[in-house]
Structure 1
């Protein structure tokens, strides 16, 4: 799987693609997505959403998947799923994804994409699935037993990427093993049955991971995340309640002062400034001053996004239309690809 060597190679390839994208965006088809397990937050926005919009505006073919089937890899309920899906579409639209340029669709609405699972599963061994580090990490994090769906999750991801002939996937370093497996599946299929699928490459994000307000990983379950859908007042309240420390002098020290540094990182990414510079400016102003500065930074940055979001909240019919149209287009694409797969395999009767 992804060792240091392959990370270096992936990183070099990613840089080449990023440069080529500026000149030939039409050569690239990008796929990425999210699991609808709750509201999207600042970590999602700066980590992936902003980059998707940039790719869309460059002219790359952009496809964004709402991975509703993946919710049940490690959860026992789909109780709020419909609400989560509609809210996710609102977040996407508010952040700048344009349904005329980007295909936004749901896993469960595209049967032909999911049908690729069967031939793809025949191309991987159990050992290859077992040693995927991401699956192991997710299983440990969820405390859930290893379900068949979680074990085959990387194969499902390969279906998502390959059904639309995706050739670039924006990911963080931890997701490289998934891309590696997708490449393997595509190569094995092409060798065995004839060329249908492209080579897939990772587009590695150079955005540092935004920590939560307490310095830990930003997560809904930790209550340390600011959602895109929060109001200015809710944001202020969440920041006000965040834990700092008793030291008055503000310094940027993620290791020893996670709470203070989490706030500084948030303020820095929203203002485009350096976290240490902000710390120096606040100095003896203490955590009260820091929280005030961070609240203003977040609310100023997200004000236009939240304005747009309110418009979509008031027009659920439009949100549903976007999804229906995205699902319709995804089905068209998936059926065409499945047709090519069946033809290559001689399964046309």
Structure 2
């Protein structure tokens, strides 16, 4: 696979403005020649995915897959332990993630779905990568600092501190050259680019062993949870893709709004109402303003009815597919076995190349 992508001068440093400017170039290149791109993306198996995940990442993964981009979808089971002491019901959560991806349209014949724990060579790449970065550099990483500040653990684990290096191994084991991220993940990706560059400089002998992956910035809209705060699996404020129609109706009925009767789309001053309007708009392929105009002075109850109907109609086919897949757990395990085998073969080849470059093969 050709991993060399033309890079304009503005993309030399992956700051937010540079990454935003780069996005338009990347999208054009993807449409011109999707086969030149390999994407690494994934999630931690900590519970069922929700509508925020769907509109934030899942639908984009399916879009890229359908365009012909090579996709590696990581179920990051080892990274569950970055901010918690015990990985509860890990096997069950892994299967739930596979279900959510299959139901959303990720095709295991075209996308490799795999787990950390099944690819030992991937995790071995952490050791040489850790030698290429200093403790001070990890300490300055703003994403790490934020994750540590919000950690559930009483003390910071080494796994959390070195999380950006583990993530670099995730990306570089398959030589991914494109990583869909939000703006808050840009510092992590910059660590990956730095490690790729340093490895190539130290061991490449004039050849680039690893690509320096580009960030494909997410254009996902911000959906608030039903309590008006960040939508999160752990806060019980999210509508899971697997939720029933009745559960969805109950959650939306309890969603926070405000006292104004006329419904308007005003994200700055009416964030909870705006988020509900946005959710309905995404499901109906309309604009939030159009939804607000239709509801007018009918109030919050009418808004919630509109959102409930839109979400349940939108999710109905996805839920039907999910239910069908859930009846065949053997197929889910087969998807993982085949994906793990493909990922392991790629990781083994990369690790062999790394050992050769470092003159450490025996």
Q: TM-score range by the shorter chain?
A: over 0.9
Counterpart pick for 1:178 among 188, 208, 215: 188
Which residues of 2 match residues 1-349 of structure 1 at below 5 A? 6-144=15-153, 145-194=155-204, 195-349=208-362
CA 317–143 in structure 1, closer or farther in 2 if over 3 Å, else same: closer
**Separation in 2 of the partners of 1:220 and 1:120?**
32
Q: Compute the displacement of 1:22 (Å).
A: 0.1
Say if 2:224 and 2:272, in contact at 8 Å, map to a contact too: no
**Separation in 2 of the partners of 1:124 and 1:150?**
15
Q: Compute the displacement of 1:5 (Å).
A: 7.9
Q: Compute the displacement of 1:127 (Å).
A: 0.9
| Bigger shift: residues 204-213 or 37-46 | 204-213
**Separation in 2 of the partners of 1:112 and 1:126?**
24
**Separation in 1 of the partners of 2:276 and 2:104?**
22
| Bigger shift: residues 19-28 or 198-207 | 198-207
Over the aligned positions, Cα root-mean-square deviation in angstroms equals 1.6
| Bigger shift: residues 152-161 or 284-293 | 284-293
| Bigger shift: residues 4-13 or 172-181 | 4-13
Q: Compute the displacement of 1:134 (Å).
A: 0.9
Say if 1:270 and 1:301, in contact at 8 Å, map to a contact too: yes
Gapped runs of 5+ residues in structure 2? 1-10
Say if 1:67 and 1:107, in contact at 8 Å, map to a contact too: yes
Say if 2:231 and 2:237, in contact at 8 Å, map to a contact too: yes
Say if 1:214 and 1:224, in contact at 8 Å, map to a contact too: yes
Q: TM-score, normalized by length of structure 1?
A: 0.96
**Separation in 2 of the partners of 1:157 and 1:287?**
43
| Bigger shift: residues 257-266 or 317-326 | 257-266
| Bigger shift: residues 325-334 or 135-144 | 135-144
- Deviation per CA, 1:256-291: give whole Å up to 9, x if none: 333322211211111122212211211121111111
Q: TM-score, normalized by length of structure 2?
A: 0.93
CA 91–196 in structure 1, closer or farther in 2 if over 3 Å, else same: same
Say if 1:215 and 1:254, in contact at 8 Å, map to a contact too: no
Q: Compute the displacement of 1:214 (Å).
A: 3.3
**Separation in 1 of the partners of 2:333 and 2:217?**
32
CA 7–259 in structure 1, closer or farther in 2 if over 3 Å, else same: closer
Q: Compute the displacement of 1:14 (Å).
A: 2.3
- Deviation per CA, 1:18-39: give whole Å up to 9, x if none: 1100011111000000011111
Divergent runs of 4+, >4 A: none
Q: Compute the displacement of 1:143 (Å).
A: 4.2
Say if 2:228 and 2:256, in contact at 8 Å, map to a contact too: no
Gapped runs of 5+ residues in structure 1? none
Q: Compute the displacement of 1:79 (Å).
A: 1.6
CA 298–184 in structure 1, closer or farther in 2 if over 3 Å, else same: same
Q: Compute the displacement of 1:77 (Å).
A: 1.2
Where 1:98 maps in the other structure, the secondary structure is coil
Q: Compute the displacement of 1:12 (Å).
A: 1.9
Where 2:17 maps in the other structure, the secondary structure is helix
